[in-house]
Structure 1
């Protein structure tokens, strides 16, 4: 699959980038995508939720009324969950929501997500670029040139570039990652996937194993 390479002004450079069919043109596996996205979102959860149970409530331990003869249900503690101010019954406890997926499934999920974007013509290949210093307006000008300033976009770089990363950090609709940080969720969450030329080799080598 060949895609035109654009410059930072949104103009065709006249060159073509070759996208591997083994990565960008496979039959998407929807279940693999579902599991990988589910794992990503589960890993974002802190799992620190907690409510007090009856043994953690401060209160009297005396029996609040006699056992029989009241005509109502028996009750032994004011800390019971059936009373106002009592402990919560079956409340949330701290837990770890993460779960394991094997590497082959995660690799298949990412290839499926990239193939979905390729099928939708949502992939843009951009020539390598850099900024002299971090400036948001420089990054915004690229978004406008590519006509994606009003869309969610994900820029994939070949390696860490602080000037580009810091220039995009204030923009809610755009995110910059390296090829090694690419995830299924981030691919699908973006309307446009912008791949810098130097990132292509890293993506294909990571996913062609």
Structure 2
């Protein structure tokens, strides 16, 4: 699959790159994509929720009424879950929602997501670029040149570039990651994916195994 290489103003440079069919043109595996996205979202959960149980409630321990002769059910503690202000039965406890997936499945999920985006013609390749200083204005100019300033976009860099990352941080609709940070969720979440030319080799090397 051939894609034209653009400059940061959105104009063709006259060069083309060949995207590997083993990464960008496979038959998508929807279940692998589902599992990888589910794991990503599960890992975002803090799991710090907690409700007080009977033993953790502050209250008197005296027996609140006599055992017999009241005509109602016996009751021994004001902290009982049946009373207002008592402990909660089977309430939430802190827990880790994460779960494991094997590397081959995660690799298949990312290739499936990239293939779906390639099929939708939502992938662009831009020549390598850098900023001398972090400046949001410069990053917006790049997005405008590529025609994606009002769309959710994902910019994939070859190596971590601090100035480019900092320049994009104030923009809600745009995300910048290095090739090693690319995830299935971020691929699917973006309307357009922009690969910096230097990122393709690493991505194809990692995902074509």
Same fold (TM > 0.5): yes
1:124 aligns with 124
Tell me the equivalent position of 1:147. 147
Deviates more, 1:145-154 or 1:67-76: 67-76
- Distance, in Å, in 2 between the alignment partners of 1:142 and 1:75 is 71
Q: Which residue of 2 aligns with 1:189?
A: 189
1:4 corresponds to 2:7: no
Deviation at 1:62, TM superposition (A): 1.1
| Residue 62 in structure 1 maps to residue 59 in structure 2 | no
Pairwise CA RMSD: 0.8
- Counterparts of 1:16-27 in structure 2, within 5 Å, are 16-27=16-27
SS in 2 for 1:46: coil
CA distance in structure 1 between the partners assigned to 2:71 and 2:175 by the alignment: 65
Task: Give the secondary structure class of the aligned counterpart of 2:73.
Answer: coil
Aligned to 1:14, the other structure's residue is in SS state: strand
Unaligned runs of 5+ in 2: none
Q: Structure 1 CA distance, aligned partners of 2:70 and 2:182?
A: 66
Partner of 2:159: 159
SS in 1 for 2:90: coil
* More displaced stretch, 2-11 vs 74-83: 74-83
Q: Measure the CA separation in 2 of the matches of 1:82 and 1:126.
A: 64
TM-score scaled by structure 2? 0.98
Distance 2:68 2:119 in 1: 73
Aligned to 1:102: 102
User: What's the offset of the Cα at 1:84?
Assistant: 1.4
1:124 aligned counterpart, secondary structure = strand
The runs of at least 4 aligned residues of structure 1 exceeding 3 Å deviation read: none
Is there any run of 5+ residues in structure 1 with no aligned partner, and where? none
Distance 2:37 2:145 in 1: 31
The alignment of Structure 1 onto Structure 2 pairs a total of residues equal to 209
Q: Could you tell me which residue of structure 2 aligns to residue 44 of structure 1? A: 44
Q: Give the TM-score taking structure 1 as reference length.
A: 0.98
Give how far 1:89 is off. 1.1
Tell me how far 1:107 sits from its aligned partner.
0.3
Q: Deviations over 1:88-108 (max 9, x none)?
A: 111100111111100000000
SS in 1 for 2:144: helix
Partner of 1:93: 93
Deviation at 1:53, TM superposition (A): 0.5
Paired position in structure 2 for 1:172: 172
3-state SS in 2 of match to 1:4: strand
Deviation readout 1:3-30 (Å, 9 max, x if unpaired): 1111100111111111000000000000
